[in-house]
Amino acid sequence: MGFVDTFLNIDVMQRVFPMLWRGIGNTLALAAATLVVGSLTGVILCLMRLYGALPFRLFAIAWIDVFRAIPILVLLVLIYYALPFMGVRLSSFASAVLALSLVFAAFTAEVFRAGIQAIPKGQHEAAASMGLPFPIIIWKVILPQALRIAIPPHTSNSVAIAKDTSLASVVAMPDLLKQATDAQALTANPSPLIAAALMYLIVLLPAVRLVSWLEDKYRTQDR
């Protein structure tokens, strides 16, 4: 067999396309759940680290340091295979969302912390002098400005974590990579992996370009 028949076999790709289509749907669902849960948790961790009482600050620092350091694959295996020994059983989807969200939240917290600390302290003082309560100051004054600063790096981290959803295949979640490897085994041909790579490219390439556009946009505005 030649290169095309081995790696770019259109007939094989067409036969396994329904499997890959289900896989990309699961991958997108996993990515969306991770981005929502991780982003919200990360913002909460950021606020705890900056404004919380000492125990909350220490908890946030420990979370951020630990989950920025631990590999996602190790965390995923621990959650899916170790927790059942403690009586906690999660589905492969829930395990993947939890593992990815724990890590993504840690990076999100640091991105928003940098954004908040870049805001002049006078903004907070001016809002406080107007009699605004602290929650309103954070919600209406601080976070909107921090979001503008944090959008480019946060979008970049979002793309990175979306690519890491492929690690969910190690816990038998039928994501795109898992479906592609199963299809490769069924057809005895690596073409499904090439098709999966193309599908990842189609989904993630616009997001990568979005990151570049946002970086250029806010760099120009800052000038």
Joined tokens for residue 55: 């125990």
In tens digits, the chain (223 residues) has pLDDT values of 677 777 888 899 999 999 999 999 999 999 999 999 999 999 999 999 999 999 999 999 999 999 999 999 999 999 999 999 999 999 999 999 999 999 999 999 999 999 999 888 888 888 888 888 988 988 888 888 888 888 888 988 999 999 999 999 888 788 888 899 999 998 888 999 999 999 999 988 888 888 778 777 766 665 5
For the segment(s) 3-222, the CATH number from 1.10.3720.10, 3.60.110.10, 3.20.20.140, 3.40.190.10 is 1.10.3720.10
Distance set, CA 137 to CA 8, 63, 153 (Å): 57, 25, 24
Residue with tokens 């350091």: 69
| Cα distance between residue 125 and residue 120, in whole Å | 9
Its pTM stands at: 0.88
In the chain, which residue ranges form alpha helices assigned H by DSSP?
3-7, 10-51, 54-69, 72-77, 92-117, 121-129, 134-136, 143-164, 176-187, 191-222
Burial 135-144 (b: 16+ CB within 10 A, else e): eebbeebbbe
Domain ranges for the chain: 3-222
